Amino acid sequence: MPDPLTLAELEDIESRHVLRNYARLPVAVASGADVWLHTVDGRRVLDLLCGLGVTSLGHAHPAVTMAIQEQAGRLLHTSNLVHLEGPTRLAERLATSSLGGGVLFQNSGAEANEAAIKLARRHRRGGEIVSLHKGFHGRTYGALSATPQEAKQEPFAPLVGGFRAVPPTPEAIDAAVGAGTAAVLLETIQGESGVLPIPHEVLRAARAACDAHGALLIVDEVQSGMGRTGDLWSYAASGVVPDAITVAKALANGLPIGALVTGPHLLDVLQPGDHGSTFAGNPLVCAAALAVLDVIEAPGFLERVSEAGARLREGLEALPDVASVRGRGLMLAAELTPEAVERHDTTAALAGRLITEHDVWVNAPTPSALRLLPPLTIGDGQIDEGVARIAAGLTGR
Ligand X SMILES: *Cc1c(COP(=O)(O)O)cnc(C)c1O
Shortest CB 121 distance to ligand X, Å: 18
Shortest CB 222 distance to ligand X, Å: 4
Q: Cβ distance 232 to 297 under 8 Å? A: yes
DSSP bridge pairs for 73: none
What are the φ and ψ backbone dihedral angles of 283, each rounded to 5 degrees? -65, -25
Q: Cβ distance 334 to 322 under 8 Å? A: yes
Shortest CB 140 distance to ligand X, Å: 7
CB-wise, 108 or 238, nearer to ligand X? Answer: 108
Residue nearest to ligand X (CB): 109
Shortest CB 380 distance to ligand X, Å: 27
- Which residues, including other chains, have CB under 8 Å from residue 346's CB and lie 6 or more apart? 364, 367
CB-wise, 219 or 287, nearer to ligand X? Answer: 219
Shortest CB 228 distance to ligand X, Å: 10
CB-wise, 121 or 249, nearer to ligand X? Answer: 249
Shortest CB 277 distance to ligand X, Å: 13
Shortest CB 224 distance to ligand X, Å: 7
Shortest CB 192 distance to ligand X, Å: 5
CB-wise, 51 or 102, nearer to ligand X? Answer: 51
Q: Cα angle vertex 217, ends 215, 222, to 5°?
A: 145
CB-wise, 358 or 371, nearer to ligand X? Answer: 371
CB-wise, 270 or 331, nearer to ligand X? Answer: 331
Q: Give the per-residue SS3 of the chain.
A: CCCCCCHHHHHHHHHHHCCCCCCCCCCCEEEEEECEEEECCCCEEEECCHHHHCCCCCECCHHHHHHHHHHHCCCCCCCCCCCCHHHHHHHHHHHHCCCCCCEEEECCHHHHHHHHHHHHHHHHCCCEEEEECCCCCCCCHHHHHCCCCHHHHHHHCCCCCCEEEECCCHHHHHHHCCCCEEEEEECCEECCCCCEECCHHHHHHHHHHHHHHCCEEEEECCCCCCCCCCCCCHHHHHCCCCCEEEECHHHHECECCEEEEECHHHCCCCCCCCCCCCCCCCHHHHHHHHHHHHHHCCCCHHHHHHHHHHHHHHHHHCCCCEEEEEEECCEEEEEECHHHHHHCCCHHHHHHHHHHHHCEECEEEECCEEEECCCCCCCHHHHHHHHHHHHHHHHCC
CB-wise, 108 or 366, nearer to ligand X? Answer: 108
Q: Which residues bind ligand X (CB under 6 A)?
A: 108-110, 113, 136-138, 187, 191-192, 220, 222-223, 248-249
CB-wise, 143 or 391, nearer to ligand X? Answer: 143
Shortest CB 84 distance to ligand X, Å: 23
Shortest CB 52 distance to ligand X, Å: 6
CB-wise, 231 or 359, nearer to ligand X? Answer: 231
CB-wise, 47 or 321, nearer to ligand X? Answer: 47
